[in-house]
Amino acid sequence: MTRIAIFASGSGSNAENIIRYFSEKENVKVVLVLSNKASSGVLIRAQSHNVPTFIFTKNDLNECSKVHKVLKDYNANMIVLAGFLLKIPLCMIKAYPNSILNIHPALLPKFGGKGMYGMNVHKAVVENNEQKSGITIHYVNENYDEGDIIFQAKCDIDKHDLPEDVKRKVQALELCHFPNVIESIIP
């Protein structure tokens, strides 16, 4: 059985969507939601679905042992980053080779890297007069947004779109595709 741990820093709409999607599946279960922010909405969403939560610090993540122990306690064998803003340390990548996925709100390799998250990405897309944006689901490696790409989906950007319009279009793609793509790579 695939046992997913979701890392998230924000409101948790993607995490909740993943939890709902896999709640009916027999071979996949979301076993834990972890966050580096005690005030993040993802914790409330997870608890409303009876998914255990764990809060950690940036140091806890970088030192690996505390976070890794919790993941082992829940027998997590896949990690999904759903709006998680911290860089995953090499010790975690080595512990979960080809088992950490991220979703990025742009068509990588454009608009990726340190500082490129959330509205920063959507503003950059508009400022660069892009005609397309979308999502990229990729494996996580030691560099921000440079892991092997698993899936991309595109949306059209109108010349009058504001960053908020781009955000809305991209979030629709995230909710539509992320759980399906996760399921597609499960052995």
Q: Which residues are catalytic?
A: 104
Contacts of 103 by beta carbon, 8 Å cutoff, 6+ apart: 14, 81, 82, 83, 135, 136, 137, 174, 178
Asked if 173 and 142 count as a contact pair (C-beta separation under 8 A), the reply is no
Q: Residue written as tokens 């046992």? A: 3
DSSP letter, residue 148: P
Per-residue CA distances from 76 to 95, 153, 158 (Å): 11, 28, 41
DSSP letter, residue 6: E
